[in-house]
Amino acid sequence: MIYLDHSATTKPDSAVMQTFIQANERYYANPASLHQMGTEANTLLMKAREQIAQILKTEPEHIIFTSGGTESNNFAIKGFARANQHRGKHILISAIEHPSVIESARHLTNEGFELEFIDVDKNGSVKLSDLQSKIRKDTVLVSIMHVNNEMGAIQPILEMAKIIRSNSRAFFHVDAVQSFGKLPVQFQGDNGPDALTISGHKINGLKGTGLLAFSKRIKIQPIQHGGGQELGYRSGTVAVPQNVALAKAMRLAVEQMAENTPKFEKWREDLHAFFNKFYHVHVISNNGGAPHIISCSVRGLKGEVVVNALQSEGFIVSTSSACSSKDSSISHVIEALQIEESFEKGVIRISLGNGLTNSDIEQFKVVFAKMMKQLKGETIQL
Amino acid sequence: MKEIYLDHAATSPMHPEVIEKMTELMGSVYGNASSIHSIGRHARKYLDDAKMVLAQSIGAKDQEIIMTSGGSEADNLAIFGTAYARRNEGRHIITSQIEHHAVLHTCERLEKQGFKVTYLPVNAQGVVSVQDVQQALTDDTILVTIMYGNNEVGSIQPIKEIGSLLKKHKATFHTDAVQAYGIEKFDVEDLQVDLLSVSAHKLNGPKGIGFLYQRENTPLQSTLLGGEQERKRRAGTENIPAICAFAEAVRIAQANFEVKQQEFVSFQELFLNTLDQAKISYHVNGDRANTLPHVLNISFTGMDVESFLVNLDMAGIAASSGSACTAGLIDPSHVLVAMYGKGAPELRNSIRFSFGFGLSLEDVQVAADKTVEIVERLAK
């Protein structure tokens, strides 16, 4: 099986697993414990925090470990909005956010917040003019994903930050789950986001790991209460081995970027050109997007049918996103892009990651072409 | 010097077979269980099988298990989830003064939002009275949350009796069984609880994983929102290697229930006999007749907990003043305050020793001997 679904989840790197195993053997104590073993575990945890802070260009005390991207997004949105409602109760997010952002923001409307969506263009890019017209003095929170998980669009974070800063006192949260390790992700003081969400399992780290990072000290209300771990922001016994493994995965991801990015970009451009040859295929992603996500649709077919056909030939791709792929209706992202109706249901996503070779991509093209011939009767010159 | 870890109630080392299982699955079952392709479906099967093991361990159905990131999240979900789902039926919650902070602080949060919370007292043995629960119940009560076994002193609460009392009341019954799971055998039908929290890292499973049992049709509002995982009750990509490792830890615990319990009882006896032989003046905090066997909380007459712990630590013994979650600062334990009142000597002279996997009688003997030495030295 050739795995082309790295945006859904990835296999942990063997070095990350090794780190995890070693940390478990020696540093299993509770880092909140006062004894030597607890102190040692805490020192290791602090080291992981420092390494991550360096990567993201912030301070160690601004890194809050969580159970993953979903928790980080829930925490950022509910936690910040609730703690700062005196500033205003208006929230802006894009129409193509991850469900964990959309559902959290929607939930806040039950608490008296007002939610508006910023439109995207047909490339999936947030319309800056729409942000400009919707941002208000009482906007308390803007949350935008850096890279869209279903079709790879990269959002203009710095331009957005400028508009947000000059028109409001809003907090700017960026869900960087799909971009970290694929694009440079760092804080830039006041010129960039105030908070970033990162998940371990999308970058060859472990499932159940993630973080929310801040550029500076901010006021945020915990969503999980108890022992007051993580500087009081997130209660629950801190999983030291997991967090050390997250620091390792993040370091590796950043190191591997130099090698991966040109490779992924070449494959992406190649696949875009390949898909464009088919009359019955509509290419949704574009060469301006993230290097690892390619999305297209086959006319008149269901995504599941395409996924199964490719799988029977040994290639694993997904329908739009794993989180919503059990839902047979059309994804909210595809809906926001307003693509032609005959292409709405046949969307597949190919997402690249570690371990792939040129020949895997060549093989994929052969298999896809064969499928197109069988299912749509369309043949192209390979 | 070999360290002797007597803080298993704070957290426990992973069992070698559990970590082997977990790392094996990280490599072989890495798919996203929500994916429709074969790698996703393969992962889903592992998830379903593991949840079956977890469900069966407490006499539940697999669809009644909601995986969480641990005990704290399970407690938060149980309490916030019930309060928000049932706020139109009432605003009163009953809990006890000796609960874990994940319960207490969540209840305090709800008080700020207009809920009324009764914090029941306990007796000197650290046990809640069923009668107190009965008296505190009103038509407005929507939730009763009482822990199964206390994490600091080990006292086991009358859960079954409270469960049967609440059968005639509309209130949801939650128990935090984090400290008891894997040590005590229990069944949700027998206890008649509606919600029950557990955590893996207390029973030699991985950190960062736990579950909330939710009896069918028990109202619960989700706290983590997003994807439709866990039957729309808890969003977030399923942590399958950890969930399967958790199930493995449970399997091992279940296979060794009796042996382990007897072992811990013999550890307690050995420890206390050693103190008796040395004529150390002490008493055990908690309910000796009905206690979690792995928790031994001792009040040493005339000792000071801080210097005591430092000395134990220097002697290579990792013990605790109480719950690790609050141990960052040695504040007087809220559990001991509830049992003895403010200003009681026990608040300043109690140490929790807790037993678990990997300990031998020899280790416990060494620890007890060193404890005696330290007490004698500090008493001078």
CATH number at residue A366: 3.90.1150.10
Q: Look at residue A36 and tell me if it is in a domain.
A: yes
pLDDT at B329: 56
**Same domain (yes/no): A45, A138:** yes
Q: Chain A 192-251, CB below 8 Å of chain B: which residues?
A: 199, 201, 206-209, 223-229, 235-242
Q: Which of residues 250-309 of B touch A (CB under 8 A)?
A: 309
The verdict on A27 touching B (C-beta cutoff 8 Å) is no
Question: How far A298 CA sits from the closest chain B CA (Å)?
Answer: 18
Provide the number of CB pairs (under 8 Å) joining chain A to chain B. Answer: 260
Specify the pairing of strand B295-300 against strand B282-285: antiparallel
Report the candidate in A187, A155, A159, A121 with the shortest Cα–Cα distance to residue A288: A155
Judge whether A323 lies within some domain: yes
Task: Give yes or no for residue B114 having a pLDDT over 70.
Answer: yes
Instruction: Give the tokens for residue A166.
Output: 């000059």
Edge to edge, what strands does the sheet with A281-283 contain? A281-283, A293-298, A347-351
Same domain, A160 and A280: no
Q: How confident is the model at residue B219, as a pLDDT?
A: 98
- Express each pLDDT in A271-321 by its tens digit: 999 999 999 999 999 999 999 999 999 999 999 999 999 999 999 999 975
Per-residue pLDDT at A326: 47
Q: Does B208 touch chain A (CB under 8 A)?
A: yes
Specify if A381 maps to a domain: no
- What is the three-class DSSP state of A305? helix
**Angle between helix B38-57 and B240-255 (nearest 10):** 30
Left (φ > 0), alpha (ψ -120 to 50) or beta: where does B87 sit?
alpha
Q: Which residue in the block uniquely carries the two structure tokens 């139109």? A: B88
Asked if residue B97 has pLDDT above 90, the reply is yes
CA angle A255, A260, A263 (to 5 degrees): 160
Residues contacting A376, CB < 8 A, separation 6+: A278, A280, A298, A299, A300, A301
Give the integer Cα–Cα distance in Å for A81 and A141. Answer: 7
Residue B210 bridge partners (DSSP): B68, B199
pLDDT by residue (tens digit) across B251-303? 999 999 999 999 999 999 999 999 999 999 999 999 999 999 999 999 999 99
DSSP state of B209: -
Q: Which of A102, A110, A207, A325 to mutate to test the interface with B (most CBs of B within 10 A)?
A: A207
Task: State the total domains in chain A.
Answer: 2
Question: Is there a contact between B245 and B18 (Cβ–Cβ < 8 Å)?
Answer: yes
Identify whether residues A78 and A207 lie together within a single domain. yes
Distance between CA A260 and CA A266 in Å, rounded?
Answer: 10
User: Per-residue confidence at A381, pLDDT binned at 50, 70, 90?
Assistant: confident
Ranking B117-126, B137-146, B331-340 by mean pLDDT, the lowest is B331-340
Question: A28, B11: Cβ pair inside 8 Å?
Answer: yes
Per-residue pLDDT tens over the stretch A36-60: 999 999 999 999 999 999 999 999 9
Q: Could you tell me the CATH number of the domain that includes residue A142?
A: 3.40.640.10
Decide which of A208, A234, A252 is a domain's last residue: A252
Q: How many helices (H) and strands (E) does chain A have?
A: 11, 12
Please state, in angstroms and rounded to a whole number, the distance separating the CA atoms of residues A270 and A290: 14
Select from A9, A104, A324 the residue whose CB has the most chain B CBs within 10 Å, as the one to mutate to test that interface.
Answer: A9
Q: Does a structural domain hold residue A335? A: yes
Centre a 10 Å sphere on the Cβ of residue B269 and count the other Cβ atoms it contains. 11
Q: Which of B225, B310, B325, B379 is catalytic?
A: B325
**Confidence band for B327, pLDDT divided at 50, 70 and 90:** very low
The answer as to whether A306 is a domain residue is yes
Helix pair angle (A14-26, A240-276), 10° resolution: 170
CA A295 to CA A350: how far, in whole Å? 6
| pTM of this structure | 0.95
Active-site residue, from A83, A323, A330, A339: A323
Q: Give all domains of chain B, ordered by start, each with its CATH number.
A: 4-12+256-379 (3.90.1150.10), 16-255 (3.40.640.10)
User: Distance between CA atoms of B314 and B322, rounded to whole angstroms?
Assistant: 19
Whether B10 sits inside 8 A of A33 (CB atoms) is yes
pLDDT at residue A325 greater than cutoff 50:
no
Mean per-residue pLDDT for B324-347?
A: 81
pLDDT of residue B332: 86
pLDDT on residue A334? 87
Q: Where are the beta strands (DSSP E) in chain B?
A: 4-5, 65-68, 92-96, 116-120, 141-145, 172-176, 195-199, 210-214, 282-285, 295-300, 317-318, 350-354
Same domain, A224 and A303: no
Considering the domain architecture, whether residues A211 and A114 belong to the same structural domain is answered as: yes
B375, containing H or E segment: helix B361-379
Dist. CA A33–CA A29, nearest whole Å: 7
The nearest alpha carbon in chain B to A236 belongs to B72
Last residue of a domain, one of A236, A252, A268: A252
Task: Evaluate if residue B204 carries a pLDDT over 70.
Answer: yes
Q: Are residues A348 and A244 in the same domain?
A: no
Question: Hey, are the CB atoms on A324 and B73 less than 8 Å from each other?
Answer: no
- Looking at the structure, tell me whether residues A54 and A113 fall in a common domain: yes
The span from the CA of A338 to the CA of A332, in Å, is 10
Catalytic annotation present for A296: no
CA distance, residue A133 to nearest chain B CA (Å): 28
Cross-chain Cβ contact B242/A311 below 8 Å = no
Q: Which ipTM value was assigned to this complex?
A: 0.93
Output A42-50 pairs: Cβ under 8 A, ≥24 positions apart. A42/A240, A44/A240, A44/A244, A45/A238, A45/A240, A45/A243, A45/A244, A47/A244, A47/A247, A48/A240, A48/A243, A48/A244, A48/A246, A48/A247, A49/A243, A49/A247
**A25, two tokens:** 């053997």
Domain match, A347 and A268 both? yes
Residues A193-237: tens digit of each pLDDT? 999 999 999 999 999 999 999 999 999 999 999 999 999 999 999
**A contact residues 308-367, partner B, Cβ 8 Å cutoff:** 308, 311, 316-319, 322-327
A104/A75 Cα distance (integer angstroms): 9
Structure tokens at B259: 């042996």
- Shared domain check, A305 and A163: no
Is pLDDT of A328 > 60?
A: no
Distance CA B346, CA A139 (A): 52
Contacts of B23 (CB under 8 A, 6+ apart): A17, A20, A21, B241
Measured between alpha carbons, how far is A151 from A295 in angstroms, rounded to an integer? 5
Give A-chain residues touching B324 at CB under 8 angstroms: 30, 32-33, 38, 227, 237
Based on the fold, state whether residues A293 and A178 are members of the same structural domain. no
Q: How deeply is A379 buried, as exposed, middle or buried, from its count of CB atoms within 10 A (0-12, 13-18, 19+)?
A: exposed
* CA–CA dist A199, A209 (Å, integer): 6
User: Are A8 and B35 a contacting pair at CB < 8 A?
Assistant: yes
Structure tokens at A50: 């420092």
B230: left (phi over 0), alpha (psi -120 to 50) or beta: left
Window 130-159 of A: residues touching B by CB (8 A cutoff) are none
DSSP A78: I
Question: Among residues A221, A252, A283, which one ends one of the domains?
Answer: A252
Residue type, A161: A
- Sheet with A63-66, strands from edge to edge, namely A63-66, A210-214, A195-199, A171-175, A139-145, A90-94, A114-118
Query: With an 8 Å Cβ cutoff, is B50 touching chain A?
Result: no
Q: Is residue A382 included in any domain, yes or no?
A: no
More confident residue, A189 or B187: B187
A373 membership: H or E segment, kind and range: helix A358-376
Are both A278 and A335 inside the same structural domain? yes
Range of the domain at A193: 14-252
Answer whether residue A30 is part of any domain.
yes
Which sign does the torsion angle of CA A308, A313, A319, A325 carry? positive
Q: Is residue A71 part of a domain?
A: yes
Distance CA B120, CA B125 (A): 14
Instruction: Indicate whether A58 and A194 sit together in one domain.
Output: yes
